[in-house]
Amino acid sequence: MSDPATPQQISGVYPSLAQIGDFGPPRSELGIGSLMPWNGKLYVQNYNSHKAASGGGVSLRRVHEDLSMEVVPETLGVDGTYTNRFVHYPTGLLVLGPHVVDRHHKIRTVPELAPLRTCGTARHLTKPDTHVYVLAMEGELFELDLNTLACTQIFDLNEELGTEGEGKVHYKDCYTSFGRLVVCSNEYGEEEWAGGAARGRLAEYDGSTWRVIEDKPFTAIGGRHEFGGTIFATGWDQASAILQVFTEEDGRWTRYRLPKASHCFDHKWQTEWPRIREVEHERLLMDHHGMFYELSPWAYGGRVWGVRPISTHLWVLGDFCSWRGMFVAGADNASPSHGLNPYTAEPQSNMWFGKTDDLWNFGKPSGWGGPWWETEVEAGVPSDPFLMTGFDKKCVHLENLGGEDATFTVEVDVHGHGRFGSVVRVAVPAGQLRTHVFPSGFSAHWVRIVSDRDTTASAQLFYT
């Protein structure tokens, strides 16, 4: 901590800050699950690939102003998968993994949470001044009294939401606002891709009843609480990436669709953990399916505004934040995966330090997806809106999988408030595919498709 030497830095990465796991066995991964600036320090909570005894090296780290790092001694031996971070302002406490940190950096560990894979913390619906909810990856939901650290499990979400339990489910995040606790899980594999299963969940609890919003994989939930009147949740399916938005004004969820920047994120194990965070004042940064987006917390007329792609990437980012005027991203860089990866011997990860504006110099926005993937559609019923702004070349592939000819109308929303106008009509014979290439420079906020008859269809847009 007292070393006056300037740390070596290579393209925004400081090797001295690397998180390195034990050489093994069993040589699990060691990723960065959460980052949190706290009273002048940067806390780094790393994680392994499962519960305790899955490979050493896990502990809470503290980075100081001179970019030196220390292992927080109180957390040695507390080993597991921890990815939650939450500031509880009424008590002035930080919840990070199974730990509670006060303003003087005194740390206490909640024994009931230490063996679990804690993945989310949120305000309590009825006791917000003293309690929080803590979610674990196998579906355990607790309420935690931050004054006494009394911790009580209140739900098994596998029972409440019909998910499959330990080793077969990945709960990922939770968030409370507007009288609802929202949770998500990201189960997705061959069965989901083939349409034979729907095991992911986005669900909400109003204090008395659980309601499933979507049976799809979701990974992140966020917002700015009462500021802006919105809750955002990110997920995906075969057709595209998904952005679900709750708007306080009309009290409903609206599904939007976004391009996938990569298919490398199309599995529950490969989406750990995209986030929705505020990294510049009153501006949200969303990392979703290999693409960064800027996102406004505001909604007008019950519609979300200001969704714009920034860049593409292949990082597995556990978290990102602002600290001392910098943008800091924590990754999961290299994992031996218990021997399944014969080309990596040492579990290791690190952070990248830069500025938010640096993200525009990363990979150019591009991707693919659309509102329909071999979907049964009804005549005259529009598809979900699909993001169109911020990309260069654009085309749409329309496939009619039904037994009769159909005409598909392509409509765009140029204002962003939900009013669509027709651009082109494309006749597609039964069993055929037709492609429409948009003129160079053509753009709008959102695009959607309408069929003139009941059929089964695919509508996929490619942005290059």
Predicted confidence at residue 49, as pLDDT, reads 80
Q: Does 166 or 72 have the greater pLDDT score?
A: 72
User: HSE of 363 in the Cβ direction (CA atoms, 13 Å)?
Assistant: 13
Number of domains in the chain: 2
377 with 301, same domain: the answer is: no
- What are the structure tokens assigned to 242, written together? 């998904």
| Cα 416 versus chain centre, distance | 23
Residues 304 and 409 in one domain: no
Domain range for 222 is 170-310
Percent of the chain at pLDDT above 70?
97
Domain of 397: which CATH number? 2.60.120.260
What's the mean pLDDT when you consider all of the chain? 94
Per-residue pLDDT at 98: 97
For position 4, what pLDDT does the model report? 57
Residue 363 per-residue DSSP state:
B
398-411 mean pLDDT: 98
Q: What integer pLDDT is reported at residue 71 of this predicted model?
A: 93
Q: Is residue 11 part of a domain?
A: no
**The pLDDT of residue 156:** 97
Query: Domain boundary residue among 267, 283, 310?
Result: 310
> What's the rounded mean pLDDT across residues 437-448?
96
Q: How confident is the model at residue 314 (pLDDT cuts 50, 70, 90)?
A: very high
Same domain, 277 and 401: no
Output phi, psi for 293, to 5 deg: -130, 150
Domain boundary among 283, 310, 337: 310
pLDDT digits (tens, 9 = 90+) for 105-149: 999 999 999 999 999 999 999 999 999 999 999 999 999 999 999
275 belongs to a structural domain: yes
Hey, what are 377's tokens?
Answer: 């559609």
Mean pLDDT comparison of 200-209, 268-277, 302-311, highest-scoring range: 200-209
- Which amino acid is present at 333? N
- Position 147 scores a pLDDT of 97
Q: Model confidence at 2, in pLDDT bands (50, 70, 90)?
A: very low
pLDDT value at 190 more than 70: yes
Same-domain status, 375 and 298: no
To the question of pTM greater than 0.85 for the whole model, the response is yes
